[in-house]
A and B are shown apart, each in its own frame.
Chain A
Amino acid sequence: MSTVPESKTNGETTLSSEDEGHTSLAKRLAGANTLWIGVVLLLLIAVFGAIRPDAVLTTFTLQTTLVETSVLLVLAVGMTFVIITSGIDLSVGSVLVFSGVTSAMTMNAMSGGDATKAGWGVVWVGLLVALVSGAAWGLLNGLLIAKSKIPPLIVTLGSFGAALGAGQLISNGSNVAGVPEVLGNTLGTGTYLGIPNLVLLAAVVAAIGALLLTTTRFGRYTYAIGSNEEAARRVGISVTGHLMKIYLLAGVLAGLAGFMAMAYFRVASVTGHDTDNLNAIAGVVLGGTSLFGGAGSVVGTVLGVFIPAVLRKGFVILGVNVYWQPIAVAIVLVAAVWFDQSRRRARNQR
């Protein structure tokens, strides 16, 4: 392997150091999808900004848009890994609810029924409970998908219903109040240098996710399994183990998202998360991750989740009927998938 290249034979154009120039070009082409999504996002902001500069380009508008999207972003980071393995996780919104409920109820139980005045010790336990709750559902998904070979769509459709049902059973079908004030005031609505803490946490999660995916062996295996599961298995990659870790990761992040949502709304809500899974999937796919697996990026996902958010905010500010938002998102989504498909077809034609 490490032998120095010997003399060239039969005059073929072989690799040489001059192809360094191709690297940046090839990388740019590969990132073209992400680039386009970024352009679309900037265009949207520019158009809304040009129409109502006074309302759109304010700190308040930007802050609220970011905060409202940060919980979804954490779900979407996990979803990116799942979709790159050519899987899907429909359960994230329900796991979010379940984790919020178990976390809030544990904190209440530790504080004699109402945790509003509880201290940091209780909050940390609450965080742990949320993460473990998410991990448990993720592990269950992973076991059924990787070990029992049941299609991810069916498994997570099951846990989508089961996790929500379990959450409502535990909370008797109602929202759980009594979230500690220290949590709400810091993680929920606090800021650091003008940036909401919730947004900072989501940014850290996204950054770690991006590094994990692009620089580590874990990320490389994620792409390999999504690209050709059989090839990955034949070179000795533990496909079963890796898929378990992927769904575990998605579950843990859903648990964290549940904790974040609870901190922000100061209540563990059992309603309003029915379409979180679809919103996360839409963000991931808009960001250029392929539903066929093997390709995608967290950076794309970050841009992707903001497109629906910016559309919604823009429509509200412009006074457009807000019901246009899902229609607009649907059009962009279908266009994005069509674009991805035709690009792949063109590439595979050789």
Chain B
Amino acid sequence: MSEPLLEARELVKHYGSVEALRGASFTAYPGEVVSLIGDNGAGKSTLVKCLSGVERPTGGTLLFEGEPLELTSPTDARDHGIETVFQDLAVAPDLDPAANLYLGRELRKPGVLGWLGVLDKHEMRKRAAEHFYRLGVSLQSIDVPIAALSGGQRQSVAVARSVAWASKIVFMDEPTAALGVVQRERVLDVIKRVRDEGIAVVLISHNMPEVLSVSDRIEVLRLGRRVARFKGPDTSVEELVGAMTGALTQEDAA
């Protein structure tokens, strides 16, 4: 495989006397879906927080495209092309999908009007429609508030938004939790399209069949350490569960 896009080596994170990460490592390559799985309290969320700039690790190193990287804030991570889809839908329900897509990054009209802060709604709407189309996000109308959409569509918009701005890597924390079967398929479909554009997708999920169906690789965390790595297609639920619970260990994983 090519050079890793993002590599965490021996990350340590303490919360007071609690050790959430005890030398956890993680690797993501460009253009792959890598799932991060583990039992509750294995350190998945903490690891993602460290990798997306929300938390700063207590120890260990982070390599981004082979260079050491220190993330000071989520904004800093975003500047590096790292986006995160949060577990709770972080969208503004009263705004339409295009407005949500461009929230915080609004396009302004050229010239004096733009200097006055006037938005170029037409351009944003046009580009948003193209973007949703490209990702296969189907919406009856792009002009209704997000609250009027179904749960799956809302999540698709949230995913599409992070993807729109992620040039390198997207973290998705349980993006399909609380979704129906059809809606889940739709979100997974979006994830695959994102990968096909050369962006790395890091998926955190508890749903083993889902992980197996969508992942190119799977990394398993247990008690704050990486305990196993699998190739997506040639593994089974039993193997994954074995690694998560400690019944199965790979010596070279950490």
Residues in A lying within 8 Å of B, measured CB to CB: 1-6, 9-10, 12-16, 19, 22-23, 26-27, 30, 215-218, 220, 223-224, 226-228, 230-232, 234-237, 293-295, 344, 347-348, 350
Secondary structure call for the B interface: loop
B91 in the interface, Cβ–Cβ < 8 Å? yes
The answer to whether A215 touches B133, judged by C-beta atoms less than 8 angstroms apart, is no
Encode B59-95 as 1/0 by CB contact (under 8 A) with A: 0000000000000001100100000001000111111
CB neighbours (8 Å) of A12 from chain B are: 136, 138
CB neighbours (8 Å) of B118 from chain A are: 215-216
Given the interface pairs A10-B189, A14-B136, the reply to whether A228 lies near B127 with Cβ below 8 Å is: no
The answer to whether B147 touches A231, judged by C-beta atoms less than 8 angstroms apart, is no
The minimal Cβ–Cβ distance linking B50 to chain A, given in whole angstroms, is 17
B144 in the interface, Cβ–Cβ < 8 Å? yes
The answer to whether A5 touches B133, judged by C-beta atoms less than 8 angstroms apart, is yes
The answer to whether B141 touches A26, judged by C-beta atoms less than 8 angstroms apart, is yes
Nearest to A348 among chain B residues (CB) is: B147
CB neighbours (8 Å) of B94 from chain A are: 223, 226-227, 293-295
B178 in the interface, Cβ–Cβ < 8 Å? no
The answer to whether A5 touches B130, judged by C-beta atoms less than 8 angstroms apart, is yes
The answer to whether A15 touches B103, judged by C-beta atoms less than 8 angstroms apart, is no
B131 CB contact (under 8 Å) in A1, A10, A22, A348 = A1
Interface size class of B (residues with CB under 8 A): 35 or more
The answer to whether B103 touches A9, judged by C-beta atoms less than 8 angstroms apart, is no
The answer to whether B119 touches A215, judged by C-beta atoms less than 8 angstroms apart, is yes
B150 in the interface, Cβ–Cβ < 8 Å? yes
B106 in the interface, Cβ–Cβ < 8 Å? yes
The answer to whether B164 touches A19, judged by C-beta atoms less than 8 angstroms apart, is no
Encode B177-201 as 1/0 by CB contact (under 8 A) with A: 0000000000001000000000000
CB neighbours (8 Å) of A228 from chain B are: 90-93
CB neighbours (8 Å) of B141 from chain A are: 19, 22-23, 26
Query: Within the assembled complex, what's the spacing in Å between the Cα atoms of A10 and B144?
Result: 24
CB neighbours (8 Å) of B75 from chain A are: 236
The answer to whether B130 touches A231, judged by C-beta atoms less than 8 angstroms apart, is no
Nearest to A295 among chain B residues (CB) is: B94
Nearest to B121 among chain A residues (CB) is: A215
Query: Within the assembled complex, what's the spacing in Å between the Cα atoms of A228 and B100?
Result: 11
